[in-house]
Amino acid sequence: MAETKTPPLARLHATVAGRVQGVGFRAFVEQCAEAYHLNGWVRNRWDGSVEVLVEGERPALERMLAALRQGPRASNVTDVLFEWRPATGEFGHFSVRMTG
């Protein structure tokens, strides 16, 4: 019997700029994270951006990145700065954090 290999996990850290606060952006990210089976967190930042840190399988993270670039209907994303890192496995779920 062939052994099924689990895809390696990765981490996506992103900062989303534009009209992304007060438009349901964090709830949108939370829904995407649940749909894509990702763990981590999202929070507003004092500078008006939204910060996202998620871990999971790379294809799911790439879908999340595409979703961040689009945003919910009421938003207007102007930029997404992001970086890929190795997953640490420190998150057991996804959460919405306080502004930081």
**Residue with tokens 């008006």, as numbered in its chain:** 48
pLDDT of res. 8: 81
Stretches in the chain below the pLDDT threshold 50: none
Please tell me the predicted confidence (pLDDT) of residue 15.
98
> How large a percentage of the chain has pLDDT more than 90?
91
43 catalytic? Reply is no
Q: Which of 11, 19, 26, 69 is catalytic?
A: 26
Q: Which of 43, 44, 58, 73 is catalytic?
A: 44
Where are the domains positioned within the chain? Answer: 9-92
* Strand arrangement of the beta sheet that strand 76-86 belongs to: 76-86, 9-19, 50-57, 39-44, 94-96
Looking at domain 9-92, its CATH architecture is 2-Layer Sandwich (3.30)
Whether residue 69 lies in the annotated active site:
no
Contact 83/13 with Cβ under 8 angstroms?
A: yes
